[in-house]
């Protein structure tokens, strides 16, 4: 297991898993809330955060659909 919070799946710096995406969003929020970010960096962070949020929403929607399908496939459901 890696010593840091980053897994081997994130070797290129891009969050791959849902959990990594959430961790990155959290880091973005903390940096923006710190108040020491210049405007250009803040805009870039905002855009990155929005993109990650959309990706997380899509992953959650897919997971919910899988759960719904599994529930329909069970006998007696």
Is residue 39 predicted with pLDDT exceeding 80?
Answer: yes
CB 42 within 8 A of CB 49: no
Predicted pLDDT at 77: 53
Percent of the chain with pLDDT over 90: 71
E strand or H helix at 1, and its extent?
Answer: none
Predicted pLDDT at 27: 97
Predicted pLDDT at 48: 97
Is residue 5 predicted with pLDDT exceeding 60?
Answer: no
In the chain, the N- to C-terminal Cα span, in Å, equals 40
What is the secondary structure of 7-61 as a DSSP string? -GGGTTS---SHHHHHHHHHHHHHHHHHT---HHHHHHHHHHHHHHHHHHHHHHH
2 or 24: whose pLDDT is higher? 24
Distance CA(6)–CA(8), nearest Å, equals 7
pLDDT tens per residue across span 58-76:
999 999 999 999 988 777 6
């Amino acid at each position: 297991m890696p010593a840091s919070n980053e897994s081997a799946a994130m070797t290129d710096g891009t969050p791959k898993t849902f959990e990594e995406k959430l961790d990155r969003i959290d880091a973005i929020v903390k940096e923006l809330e710190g108040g020491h970010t210049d405007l250009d960096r803040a805009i870039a962070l905002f855009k990155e955060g929005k993109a990650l949020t959309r990706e997380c929403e899509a992953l959650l929607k897919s997971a919910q659909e899988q759960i719904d399908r599994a529930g329909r496939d069970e006998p007696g459901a």
